[in-house]
Amino acid sequence: MRYLNIKFSPLSAALVLSAACLLGCSVLQAGEQAASAPGDPALAAAVTQAIHDALDYKAKDIQVAVNGGVVMLSGWANQPSDESRARAVASRVPGVMRAYSRVHLWSSDDSY
């Protein structure tokens, strides 16, 4: 087996990394623009409405943010099932590519 003896200078390594970053960034931006066709504000409103319709008052402390069709839920929920149901409902709204959750659970544990 032959090995190639390639030496990179710090300048060439920096150029390769810069080119990779620029290429990756341009692909990400193009994907985000294509994914936001229905519009992030309209999609956020649709997701918020769907969650409130499904969970009623249990969703009052859950906020919705949308970026390029990707939904991020945040805030508070009383039960783990409320958080998972909100994420499931959000993921089924037309136009949502992915739904993530940073929803925290209220604790009834008084040991703190």
Question: In whole angstroms, what is the distance from residue 28 CA to residue 25 CA?
Answer: 5
Q: 3-state DSSP call for residue 80?
A: helix
What would the pLDDT profile of 16-74 be if each residue is shown by its tens digit?
444 444 444 333 333 444 444 458 999 999 999 999 999 999 999 999 999 999 999 99
pLDDT at 108: 66
pTM above 0.75, yes or no: no
- Torsion 42-44-50-55 (CA) sign: negative
| Residue whose token pair is 């739904």 | 99
Q: With CA atoms as reference, report the closest residue to 62 among 107, 111, 70, 53.
A: 53
| Terminal Cα-to-Cα distance of the chain (whole angstroms) | 62
- Interhelix angle 80-91/40-55, rounded to 10 degrees, is 140
Please count the other Cβ atoms lying within 10 Å of the Cβ belonging to residue 70: 17
